[in-house]
Amino acid sequence: MMRRFEQFVYGILLVPRKKRLVLVLTLLAFILSVLMFPSKIVLAKMLPGKSTNTFSIYVDLPNGSSYVQTQNVNQCIVSILQKEKEITDIEVFNGMGSPLDYAGLVKGSSFKNGEHVSEIVVNLTDTHQREEKSYMMVHRLRGAIQRTCEPLVAQTSIKMVEQPAGPPTQAAIVVELYGENTERLSALAEEIKTILAKTSDLKDVDIMHDDIYPKLSLRIDHDKAARAKLSIERIHRLLYLGFEGMNVTYKNRSDSPTQIPLFLVFSDASKSLEKMSKEALSAKLASLVLMNDEGLSVPLSEVVRVEEVLSTPTILSKNLQKMVSIVAEADLVSQVYPLLQARSAIKEHFQARYDISGTHLFDLRLKDKQSGEIYDLVWDGEMKVTMDTFRDLGGAFIAALVLIFLLMVVYYKSFALSGIVLLGSFLSIIGVIVGHWIMDLFSHGTFFLTATSLIGFISLMGISSRNALLLIDFSQAMIAHGMAKKEAIAHASATRAKPIMLTAAAIILASTLLAADPIFGGLGVALIFGTIAAVVASLIVVPVLLDNTNSL
């Protein structure tokens, strides 16, 4: 077997046309593999989807919506979820967020407060006991829930939130819009939200800011209360009792170390209004009567007035600048490509009114052509983490290439041999990219080239360099003993093929467990297919390059 391989390599080295064919095929394979990125055959993403046993649903109604409206939307969502056999239980937190979890660390679920918000936590059967992955279930349910439940209240936003596989971010894509004019910021945010909503593969688009809406406020007339001989505390207590409920007394029990509060609350029909209006609220106050110190009954409408006021929105800022955030999720795709599509659409949409310039990476600066006002559009979220990670890993890869090259120059005193070692190592990228394409065929479009894939590629640099070093050193030893150059290279390739393949087999077998992992699958695939490509490059391409150089 070894003899046959030696003859095979020697036959290639003897014929210049065969050597050119090997180099041309290698170059063609490299170009085709790299073209898989712009052609979207292989997609890049920070981390793949993670199948977990839980996910959350954020429900955001327009500011000023009532508790009843929020509850109606919740019931609509729950009715759809209850039809799923893999869902074990559902927890609804109306008017608040759920207890803080991994996803809620940066999504701000703990800050949810108000009648117009809620969070639904969905628990599933164990991931090893069901065929459907959690992110596939989210993908399937998202459209049905949003189509059915969002129209119940206009401008309702329902977002499906999965537990992140890596560093938690506010969303897959976050657009931070900075400016000084609050009204213009809100208007620009609405336009950008519309563009993102029309971008393919982007879901759960929403604006993270409070709207200004009219509301009714109850103000106690202190002068009238004093003349009616009613204390402010008693008025407050009756208002809470009439609309919310309150502790009215305590009960003592021998088996309880503390007093047990008794909470009194009116029925829904008694504490709710027929319609939200100043007249209906005034009539409600007139029905609530409080007895003063002289035993006279005083309706609350005599000492409490109803006023129509505007809400006070939360002012969001970052780095001491006013900011509005627009968030969007990428549905089973890499967020890089929808971002590029949305960025082009934003530039095209605003170019008539604004002078647009780039600032940093994908960030944009919009300058109003009439007023001169400047607005900065900064991309954040998982997209920024992806770019930062790939930038850092790319820098590490370049540093590894430079260090290997310098080390080889010092060792061999030859730039040509050092370049061959470097090129043989770099060709493993063909296997890495093709391997991800093959795996994506079996996973139906959900396997991405991730940060762990790049870590595997960087790790292959040392292994691939070792293969080339074995061939060069053995060839030099054979030539020093008087063997012809072509024979020495062919003999070195055949002799070192066995240890190279045994090393490759050990790496491949050890990486099969990683390939099945949802997070480190990219690392395993990169090591498996990259090692295969490195072996082919070491035993066929490197001998051809060595034969073409005069430094051996």
DSSP string covering 424-435: HHHTHHHHHHHH
| Model confidence band, residue 482 (pLDDT cutoffs 50, 70, 90) | confident
Q: pLDDT digit string (tens) for 12-70?
A: 888 889 989 999 999 999 999 989 888 878 877 777 777 788 888 999 988 878 888 89
Q: For residue 170, which amino acid is it? A: Q
With a cut of 80, say whether residue 333 has pLDDT above it: no
| Model confidence band, residue 80 (pLDDT cutoffs 50, 70, 90) | very high
Q: pLDDT digit string (tens) for 208-246?
A: 877 777 888 888 888 888 888 888 888 888 888 888 888
**Could you give the 3-state DSSP secondary structure of residue 168?**
coil
Cα–Cα distance measured from residue 455 to residue 393, given in angstroms and rounded to the nearest whole number: 7
| Model confidence band, residue 389 (pLDDT cutoffs 50, 70, 90) | confident
Tokens representing 132?
A: 């459907």
Largest CA distance in the chain: 124
DSSP 3-state helix, strand, coil percentages of the chain (rounded to 5)? 55, 20, 30
Mean pLDDT of 87-92: 91
pLDDT recorded at residue 340: 84
pLDDT recorded at residue 72: 92
Cα–Cα distance measured from residue 52 to residue 14, given in angstroms and rounded to the nearest whole number: 57
Mean pLDDT of 123-150: 88
Cα–Cα distance measured from residue 527 to residue 512, given in angstroms and rounded to the nearest whole number: 9
Mean pLDDT of the chain: 84
Mean pLDDT of 136-149: 90
Nearest to 523 by CA among 540, 541, 510, 536: 510
Cα–Cα distance measured from residue 430 to residue 35, given in angstroms and rounded to the nearest whole number: 11
Q: pLDDT digit string (tens) for 437-463?
A: 888 887 766 678 887 888 888 888 777
First to last CA, the chain: 26
Nearest to 66 by CA among 356, 247, 254, 281: 281
| Model confidence band, residue 78 (pLDDT cutoffs 50, 70, 90) | very high
